[in-house]
Amino acid sequence: MFRAFLLEQANGQPQGFSARLATLEDADLPPLNEGDVTVAVQYSTLNYKDGLALTNKAPVVRAWPMVPGIDGAGMVLESRHPDWRVGDVVVHNGWGVGETQWGCLAEKTRLKGAGLVRLPLAFSPRQAMAIGTAGYTAMLCVLALEQHGATPASGEVLVTGATGGVGSVAVALLSRLGYRVTAATGKAAQADYLKALGASAIIDRAELAAPGKPLQKERWAAVVDAVGSHTLVNALAQTRYGGVVTACGLAQGMDLPGTVAPFILRGVTLVGIDSVMAPLPRRQRAWDRLARDLDPVMLERMTEEVPLSAALEKAQQLMAGQVRGRIVVKIAD
């Protein structure tokens, strides 16, 4: 017997949606052909996608019933995969888990061994989930900025959605690497929090959220954007000649209501960041860099821990914009 959050949809109708903490049996686990490694999950986390799934705010879940939780860290209980043995401690991010395959907001789950990453020695399972997909995505953004020539000497870096999970980790990473970071947020009360993470300046997200000119005053050498829509378009319009912008989120919207002007007149590079299906070598590189470059003190400063039983309530707060930083879910009592 084990506990898990179970999402159900009666008769395939959205109005029949329910999310509850259920007690399940091993026989309820997905068959081994869907996941060849059985994991005792110690910690999970709440990302934006988890919030969408738990509150049914968007059609994230595509198979029913579903256990949500795109991230998990824990110990291998059983393995039919050659890379993993009983007792190994692993981390999981993405790969459709919590959407088409059972996820990690459960005391036990089955995952595909090919998608697992060995827990870096620098991190505990709790710290790995304080990072989670959000922090791992932030690291992918930093790697992309570096790949396209951004350095601390290049100039100011903008981070949008800065009090969110991706934004918080991005601010902490970039500032520790020596960049001057400007954080965009709609939460003026969190200015001290962002400065403690390393932001050198704070701007109101309203400066970026409305339609703007195709080209604006050059300001940013690089951008990490987790917001999309007009915010991303304005960030592009304000990026300096030859600068680079990474896009990894859609908190404001999926649309991109802009022009090609920043690309053809200023040589700006827009890099899409996908964390869900990123190949294993790229994942491993990101985790290795997180182990080297993320200050554990800063990580703890942005982290809140809740028990599994509180995951639904915290997801509702997340979707209402009442959460900052990272939420760790402690699975076992």
Rounded Cα gap, residues 234 and 12, in angstroms: 40
Residue 289, SS3? Answer: helix
Q: What is the homologous superfamily of the domain 133-272 according to CATH?
A: NAD(P)-binding Rossmann-like Domain (3.40.50.720)
The tokens describing 246, both together, are: 């990474």
Predicted pLDDT at 185: 95
Of 97, 123, 121, which Cα lies nearest the Cα of 35?
97
Predicted pLDDT at 191: 95
Per-position pLDDT tens, the chain of length 333:
899 999 998 765 656 788 999 999 988 888 766 789 999 999 999 988 999 999 988 888 988 889 999 999 999 999 999 999 999 999 999 888 999 999 999 999 999 999 999 998 999 999 999 999 999 999 999 999 999 999 999 999 999 999 999 999 999 999 999 999 999 999 999 999 999 999 999 999 999 999 999 999 999 999 999 999 999 999 999 999 999 999 999 999 999 999 999 999 999 999 999 998 899 899 999 999 999 999 999 999 999 999 999 999 999 999 998 988 999 999 987
Domain limits, CATH 3.40.50.720, in the chain = 133-272
Q: Which residues are paired to 239 by β-bridges?
A: 220
Predicted pLDDT at 12: 58
pLDDT in tens, 270-329: 999 999 889 989 999 999 999 999 999 999 999 999 999 999 999 999 999 898 899 999
Looking from the CA of 25 toward its CB, the CA atoms found within 13 Å total 1
SS3 content of the chain, % helix, strand, coil (to 5): 35, 30, 35
Rounded Cα gap, residues 255 and 227, in angstroms: 10
Domain limits, CATH 3.90.180.10, in the chain = 2-119+302-330
Rounded Cα gap, residues 165 and 97, in angstroms: 19
Q: What is the fold of 2-119+302-330?
A: Quinone Oxidoreductase; Chain A, domain 1 (3.90.180)
**Secondary structure E strands in 10-70:** 17-24, 37-45
Could you check whether the bond before residue 65 is cis, i.e. omega within 30 degrees of 0?
A: yes
Of 45, 47, 61, 58, which Cα lies nearest the Cα of 6?
61
Integer CA distances (angstroms), 205 to 13, 158, 185, 198, 261, in order: 37, 11, 5, 18, 22
* Global confidence as pTM: 0.90
Residue 212, SS3? Answer: coil
